[in-house]
Amino acid sequence: MSEPVPAMDLVGTSERADLRRVGLVIIGRNEGLRLQRCLDTLPAGVRQIVYVDSGSTDDSVAQARRRSVEVVELDMSIPFTAARARNAGFRRLLDLQPDVEFVQFVDGDCELVQDWLARGVAALASQPAVAVASGRVRERFRDASVYNRLCDLEWDGPVGDVSACGGNAMMRIAALRAAGGFTERLIGGEEPELCARLRSRGHRVVKLGAEMAFHDAGMTRFGQWWTRAMRGGYGAAELEGIHPGMMRRDILSTLFWALVLPAGACLSALATRGLGLLLLAAYPAFWLRILARRRATGTALPDAALYATHCILAKFPGMLGLAKFHWNKARGRQSTLMEYK
């Protein structure tokens, strides 16, 4: 087992970081104002910036070119995935700057915190075993909707050695190349899948105690949340197929809470109504357990309650995502519903 990152390196020493060692790969599709903010807040001094566009119908490509950013437009005849976009940007970055050491991936709906790149470079430079470094992501409009609040709570994970990163992360190019990049067919979960391969090669994935980015989820409708949760279930099934055992616990949990328990309660109610109600009492018990765990991390009670509710309700669209994956697999096709936005 790898040693934990020393406390002083969880933030990094930005004073000695050289931004010429890092290139940026931004991916997006119809991000509009969000992409404009992303591009306008990028710090000067990085080696190269590449923007990968996944078939935008707005002025995203023009926005990037006006700022002298290298643009890669993906072939629209091939289904879009975030993994495919990141790989395309990474390859173009290496074509232009073959000796760059680190790559910062940025989603087009995000803005990097001004000193993050320096902190990320310093951390990777001082920890040769670390292949991936990420930091705290916050929702820019956290209180605009309960769904945005949920995103912000999800970003608030533990610091130190972690199993995976999100879409915004800095990676060591030598390690990324040796691992073969992202698995392009994945419609979700491509970052945990890559991190699993990197860790199997002896590399470390860390989350630093530093602010990294602001995210603009723009999630205001229940349908957006539902589709996102479905994509999570679909992605979990894909990851389990690639790395058996990796998502087994999550999948079994989803099946139990969204299928086995409600089906058992309904069948029991046909025989004994009280037994059916007793089985359903497992949901509030589960809710209280999640609430207690989240409160133990310092989360305020209203946020912890919202998060616990989300964890239970998300099991149901997650189960549909699992079903969608296996339905598509049986028919020998990939999902169209779950494509990258």
Name 137's bridge partners: 213
| pLDDT tens sequence for the chain (341 residues) | 344 444 334 555 544 578 999 999 999 999 999 999 999 989 888 999 999 999 999 999 999 999 999 999 999 888 889 999 999 999 999 999 999 999 999 999 999 998 999 999 999 999 999 999 999 999 999 999 999 999 999 999 899 999 999 999 999 999 999 999 999 989 889 999 999 999 999 999 999 999 999 999 989 999 999 999 999 999 999 999 999 999 999 999 999 999 999 999 998 888 776 777 888 999 999 999 999 999 999 999 999 999 999 999 999 999 999 999 999 998 887 654 444 33
pLDDT, residue 16, reads 54
Q: Which residue's entry shows tokens 């670390």?
A: 130
- Packing angle between helix 222-242 and helix 190-200, nearest 10 degrees? 30
User: Is 139 in contact with 151 (CB distance < 8 Å)?
Assistant: yes
pLDDT at 158: 92
Ordered DSSP codes for 231-295? HHHHHHHHHHHHSTTSSHHHHHHHHIIIIIHHHHHHHHHHH-HHHHHHHHTHHHHHHHHHHHHHH
Q: pLDDT value at position 334? A: 62
Q: Tell me, what's the pLDDT at 2?
A: 40
Structure confidence at residue 5 (pLDDT): 43
- Among 316, 314, 289, which residue's Cα sits nearest to residue 304? 289
Which of helix, strand or coil describes residue 94?
helix
Phi, psi of 105, deg, nearest 5 = -90, 135
3-state secondary structure of 44: coil
Label residues 45-54 b or e (16+ Cβ within 10 Å = b): ebbbbbbbbb
The alpha carbon torsion through 320, 322, 323, 329 (nearest 10 deg) reads 140
Supply the pLDDT for residue 341.
39
Amino acid at 149: R
- What residue ranges define each of the domains in the chain, with the CATH number in brackets? 7-220 (3.90.550.10), 238-331 (no CATH)
Helices 315-331, 222-242: axis angle to 10 degrees equals 50
CA 217 to chain centre: 12
Rounded CA separation 234/276 (Å) = 30
pLDDT of residue 7: 37
